[in-house]
Amino acid sequence: MSRLVVVTGVPGAGKSTVIEGALKQLKSQGVGYRVINYGDVMLELMREREGVIDRDEMRRVSTGPYREIQRDAARRIARVAKRKPTLVDTHCLVKKPDGYYPGLPRWVLEELKPESIVIIEATPKEVAARRTRDVTRKRDKEILDEVMEHQILNRAVATAYAALTGATVGIIHNREGRLSEAVKE
Ligand code: ATP
Ligand code: AMP
Ligand code: MG
């Protein structure tokens, strides 16, 4: 298995944007990484099996089929990630209608075997503003305390994932208008 780094953060924290920048920077240094968006793989399977067509609707699918699709997505990602160092764009915890759901339960960790887990963070105010500004997505509108709670729990569960796998945990602050600093970090 090649090196695999999991990149997480609440919706709108800036994972995909930071990853895009990091990929360009790594490429300019001659370091080839592949990026796999876990949500893309989930969406493909959801479309086939559940008829869900919107990425932001997936989290409302009931936990039984959701868990199965998550597991199959992990297998698919692990297969693809075998040959090249990979960044996986994903979530520590998915906020479903019935509660927080682990993005990396034991069976996903066993497939992916991450070397590092990165959490991209921003202040709740910045996250809320990014969600409102980004009209390409249908992210949940939350009060600032809810965004804060999600970020606190992400840190907690990321360290639990680390304890299970021996992965390291890194926290990157993606400050407003200072994307290049987060990319560099
Ligand atoms: P999701 O989990 O929902 O996919 P995400 O964490 O991948 O969310 P992005 O789509 O990367 O989030 O970013 C959300 C929005 O915030 C985008 O419109 C992006 O351009 C903007 N953004 C990201 N980082 C910054 C930054 N440092 N300063 C200002 N805007 C930013
Ligand atoms: P994203 O584009 O990162 O917002 O991902 C879209 C959706 O994919 C999320 O809202 C989740 O429903 C799902 N998803 C992404 N990663 C995982 C994961 N590790 N486990 C379960 N669902 C995931
Ligand atoms: Mg994203």
pLDDT tens digit string along 38-75? 999 999 999 999 998 899 999 999 999 999 999 999 99
Whether residue 40 has its Cβ less than 6 Å from ligand 1: no
Q: Is the CB of 161 under 6 A from ligand 2?
A: no
CB 15 near ligand 1, within 6 Å? yes
92-127 as b/e, with b when 16 or more CB fall inside 10 Å? Answer: bbbbeeeebbbbbbeebbebbebbbbbbbbbbbebb
- The pLDDT confidence band at residue 108, using thresholds 50, 70 and 90, is very high
Question: Is 1 a residue whose pLDDT tops 70?
Answer: no
Residue 127 Cα, ligand 1 centroid: separation in angstroms?
8
Report the relative pairing of strands 116-121 and 93-96 from DSSP bridges.
unpaired
Atom of ligand 1 nearest to the CA of 178: 27
pLDDT in tens, 122-158: 999 999 999 999 999 999 999 999 999 999 999 999 9
CB of 13 shorter than 6 A to ligand 1: yes
- At 103 the pLDDT is 98
Whole-prediction pTM value? 0.98
Q: Which ligand is nearest to the CA of 17?
A: 1
Q: Label residue 106 by pLDDT band (50, 70, 90).
A: very high
The residue among 32 and 127 whose pLDDT is bigger is 127
